[in-house]
Amino acid sequence: MIVTSRVADARLWAEVLNLGGFDVIAKPFHAPEVLHVLRTVSLQKAGPARSQRLAANA
């Protein structure tokens, strides 16, 4: 889970993580920031071998 919020403080971020979320993105957000978070999620979920291939293609 990735949460968007106008106020992204440490308390909200900790709550999101405790509930199983991945990250909080503060609004207004920009495409490069969203893509970075999505790539990071993809790399963590893919496993080591696939992560290296994806990182090489980024």
Report how far residue 8's alpha carbon sits from residue 11's, in angstroms, rounded to the nearest whole number.
8
User: What pTM did the predictor assign?
Assistant: 0.63
pLDDT on residue 54 = 65
pLDDT on residue 47 = 74
Which residue carries 């993809």 as its tokens?
42
Contacts of 12 (CB under 8 A, 6+ apart): 3, 5, 24
pLDDT on residue 19 = 94
Q: What is the pLDDT of residues 9-51, one digit of tens each?
A: 899 999 999 999 999 999 998 999 999 999 998 888 877 666 5
Report how far residue 14's alpha carbon sits from residue 53's, in angstroms, rounded to the nearest whole number.
31
pLDDT on residue 31 = 94
Which residue carries 């979920």 as its tokens?
45
Rounded to 5 degrees, what angle do the CA atoms 35, 38, 39 make? 85
Q: Is the pLDDT of residue 56 over 80?
A: no
